[in-house]
Amino acid sequence: MSAEWMKGLPVLSSAKMSPQKTGLVHSVFLSVEELGNAAKRLCDHGYSIEDVSVVDTVQGFMVVYHFDRLTSPGRVALRVLAPHDKPEVPSISEIFSGANWHERECHDFFGVIFTGHPNLVPLLLPEDAKFHPLLKSTEEKRAIPEIMSPGDVEVSTPTFEALFPKPEREEAGAEKPDEKSAKEKSTGPGPSAVEGKE
Amino acid sequence: MALSGQNLSQSVAGDFYTQRWETGPDDRTMILNMGPQHPSTHGVLRIIIEIDGEYVLKAEPVLGYLHRMHEKMAEVRTYIQYIPNMGRVDYVHALAWNWAYMGAVERLAGIEVPERAEHIRVITTELNRIASHLLWWGAFLIDLGAFTPILYAFDDREKILDLLQIPTGSRLTYSYFRPGGVAADIDKEFIEGVKGLVPYMRSRMPMYRDLVTDNIIVKERLEGVGVIPLETCRLYGATGPVVRGSGLAYDVRRAEPYSIYDRLKFDIPTDQGCDCMGRYLVRMAEIDQSLRIIEQAVDELPEGPYLVKGAPKVRWKAPAGETYFAVEGARGKIGVHLISDGSNKPYRCKLRSPGFSNLSLFSEVAQGVLLADAVAILASLDLIIPELDR
């Protein structure tokens, strides 16, 4: 079942992940409005912030927040999607002070605006930098289902299903065939096949 | 995007960051720029400090003087070509970064690492951890005003670098790990050297204690200085000796065991002091624990391949997917968030450096301390600037 901290939280989706494969225990998609609430709950449940990162995808900027508990480990990823034309996500630096610098870094690299951030000025890039180095061109951009598996979905909503269209989900839900095909594709030139664990 | 402060008149003194500085109500204060070139910053770290006499009212680190955009480089190089970058993110504990990245690649592709390679990784990474702690020890004491200890520390560190040079071929920016193992096997000379080093380092530790740890001046400078409550560590995501020096036995090698660490016996040193002394004692105790780990790994070193058969080559394509892998570096939790779209280059590679999170709490901790203590606090966080800036 879903974790204690998540109870009653309106999520777009929540999925159990395999820690051996993804390093995560839970992956949760949220609407931008619920992000603050979710972070607050994680904070109340003793989680610590690990990092904030952004992935530029076809569907928009996927902002990923990693949390882990220092006492009983189990990594949780919160994800929100910010559209390219209005890349705004509320800042959680009021809740987790450590998010402050991570959000500034994400603003540097992607131009995502963290609303309510106390000091959203360049951290790593020069103060007069007029570019965001990690933005991808249209050809380079991938859709979210192409770069991650939805995991073992527990809670789902229409918004999430639109993100992960049905066939992708079934394939990933079954896992084995998906992985096999990925492995076949991954065989590089020469006899450099991967000696898998399976 | 227009940023407030950018339109300030050119006649105002200072640069972007000092111009934006909001001074407190007291107009007798002074703004001091410590760095980016300053004897007591470990590289090009800059800290803007507002001081009232000798007391720090507000301090704000300014990063980016050594920023190289490693995360962008990941997206334009193949998985294998990116390995040398890892030795340059944190050159002092380079092998831990090697491991964090390799671990992520291996987890993504489901590559198994042979037993012998796992042992080699443990031995070399722990040797590197000791070297890192020795460097920190010397530099830390220089910051406190004691020059001689670094000469002893470098003498011992030199012995470790000489050893690590045998299998890795380099002394500082190692790029030794490969997906599925390591680049070269360890030989008899290395193993004998390590066997000799362990008792030697153990014999040196009492001297370190007598010379420095029990020194009354060091105690006065460190005890009760720079208190970081555990709650602060949690909210900022501080890890490594910082959180252990605040009394919590959190170590990625135990919390999320990777490789053979679940089979090795070692303690996680902690200190309830939460102060600079606490962090100091934790690192010194960690040297002992690393020696214990090395001893066990050398004793149990199995025969066999050092690299898995059919290990990925330069143009190897990783299967699509997302993964996160964390290891315990000398400064704390190193995390690599790797996303692949199935091509031969990472789609996104986020590097979580422990020093970044550890330093971010400095502003809060430095409030109201003496300027000299602020330097001690900075040094007790064990900062490696290339790792902060990446």
Owning domain of residue A118: 4-184
Q: How high is the pLDDT of residue A5? A: 79
Q: How high is the pLDDT of residue B313? A: 84
Tell if the CB–CB gap between A124 and B67 is shorter than 8 Å. yes
User: For testing the chain A interface, which of B325, B348, B363, B383 should be mutated: the one with the most A CBs within 10 Å?
Assistant: B348
User: For testing the chain A interface, which of B258, B337, B361, B365 should be mutated: the one with the most A CBs within 10 Å?
Assistant: B337
Tell me the pLDDT tens digit for each residue of B265-281.
999 999 998 899 999 99
Q: How high is the pLDDT of residue B146? A: 85
Residues of A in contact with B364 (CB under 8 A): 97
Domain membership flag for residue A164: yes
Closest in B310, B315, B324 to A23, CB measured: B324
Domain membership flag for residue A172: yes
Half-sphere exposure of B137 toward its Cβ, with a 13 Å CA cutoff?
A: 30
* DSSP H helix total and E strand total for chain A: 7, 8
Q: What is the mean pLDDT of chain B?
A: 88
Determine the Cα–Cα distance for residues B159 and B171; give it in Å rounded to an integer: 11
Residues of B in contact with A123 (CB under 8 A): 63-64
Determine the Cα–Cα distance for residues B379 and A137; give it in Å rounded to an integer: 42
Residues of A in contact with B348 (CB under 8 A): 53, 55-56, 134, 147
Q: Give the distance from residue A195's alpha carbon to the nearest chain B alpha carbon, in angstroms.
A: 6
Domain count, chain A: 1
Domain membership flag for residue A110: yes
Residues of B in contact with A49 (CB under 8 A): 235-237, 357
Determine the Cα–Cα distance for residues B153 and A120; give it in Å rounded to an integer: 41
Which amino acid is located at A66 in the chain?
H
The predicted model gives B142-158 an average pLDDT of 89
Q: Give the distance from residue A57's alpha carbon to the nearest chain B alpha carbon, in angstroms.
A: 10
Q: Using the predicted structure, report yes or no on whether residue B235 has a pLDDT greater than 50.
A: yes
Determine the Cα–Cα distance for residues B228 and B213; give it in Å rounded to an integer: 20
A36 touches chain B (CB under 8 A): no
Q: How high is the pLDDT of residue B284? A: 92
Q: Give the distance from residue B323's alpha carbon to the nearest chain A alpha carbon, in angstroms.
A: 4
Residues of B in contact with A196 (CB under 8 A): 109-112
Q: Using the predicted structure, report yes or no on whether residue B21 has a pLDDT greater than 80.
A: no
Tell if the CB–CB gap between A21 and B107 is shorter than 8 Å. yes
Q: Give the distance from residue B351's alpha carbon to the nearest chain A alpha carbon, in angstroms.
A: 9
* Phi/psi at B58 (5° precision): -155, 140
Determine the Cα–Cα distance for residues A195 and B312; give it in Å rounded to an integer: 9
Spatial contact of B312 and B262, defined as CB atoms under 8 Å apart: no
Tell if the CB–CB gap between B237 and A75 is shorter than 8 Å. no
Domain membership flag for residue A125: yes
User: Which CATH number fits the domain that encloses residue A110?
Assistant: 3.30.460.80
Q: How high is the pLDDT of residue B128? A: 93
Determine the Cα–Cα distance for residues A158 and A178; give it in Å rounded to an integer: 23
Tell if the CB–CB gap between A134 and B389 is shorter than 8 Å. no
**Strand-pair partners of A152:** A16
Q: How high is the pLDDT of residue B39? A: 66
Spatial contact of B100 and B325, defined as CB atoms under 8 Å apart: yes
Residues of B in contact with A55 (CB under 8 A): 339, 347-348
Residues of A in contact with B350 (CB under 8 A): 51, 53, 64
Show the tokens assigned to B337.
């968030």
- In A91-120, the residues whose Cβ lies within 8 Å of chain B are 96-98, 100-101, 109, 111, 113, 120
> Per the omega criterion (within 30 degrees of 0), is the bond before A165 cis?
no
A184 touches chain B (CB under 8 A): no
Domain membership flag for residue A198: no
Q: How high is the pLDDT of residue B41? A: 66
Domain range summary for chain B, segments of one domain joined by +:
16-62, 70-389
A183 touches chain B (CB under 8 A): yes
* Phi/psi at B265 (5° precision): -95, 120
Coil, helix or strand for B376? helix
Of A50-54, B21-25, B162-166, the poorest mean pLDDT is in B21-25
Domain membership flag for residue A122: yes
**Strand-pair partners of B335:** B326, B352
Q: What's the CATH fold of domain B70-389?
A: Cytochrome-c3 Hydrogenase; chain B (1.10.645)
Residues of B in contact with A19 (CB under 8 A): 256
Taken in order B182, B183, B188, B190, is the CA torsion positive or negative?
Answer: negative
Q: Give the distance from residue B298's alpha carbon to the nearest chain A alpha carbon, in angstroms.
A: 26
Tell me the pLDDT tens digit for each residue of B313-332.
888 888 888 999 999 999 99
Give the ipTM of the model, two decimals please.
0.85
Q: Could you list the pLDDT tens digit for every one of the 198 residues in chain A?
A: 457 777 777 888 888 888 888 888 888 888 888 888 889 988 888 899 999 999 999 888 999 999 998 888 888 999 998 998 889 999 998 899 999 999 999 999 999 999 998 888 888 888 888 889 998 888 888 888 888 887 787 777 777 777 777 554 444 444 444 444 444 444 433 334 444 333
Tell me the pLDDT tens digit for each residue of B330-381.
999 999 999 998 889 999 999 999 999 999 999 999 988 998 889 889 889 8
Strands in A116-166 per DSSP E: 152-156
Residues of A in contact with B390 (CB under 8 A): 124
Tell me the pLDDT tens digit for each residue of B58-97.
898 988 888 999 999 999 999 999 999 998 898 889 999 9
Cα nearest neighbour of B62 on chain A: A123
Q: How high is the pLDDT of residue A179? A: 43
Band of residue B16 on the pLDDT scale cut at 50, 70, 90: confident
Whole-prediction pTM value? 0.85
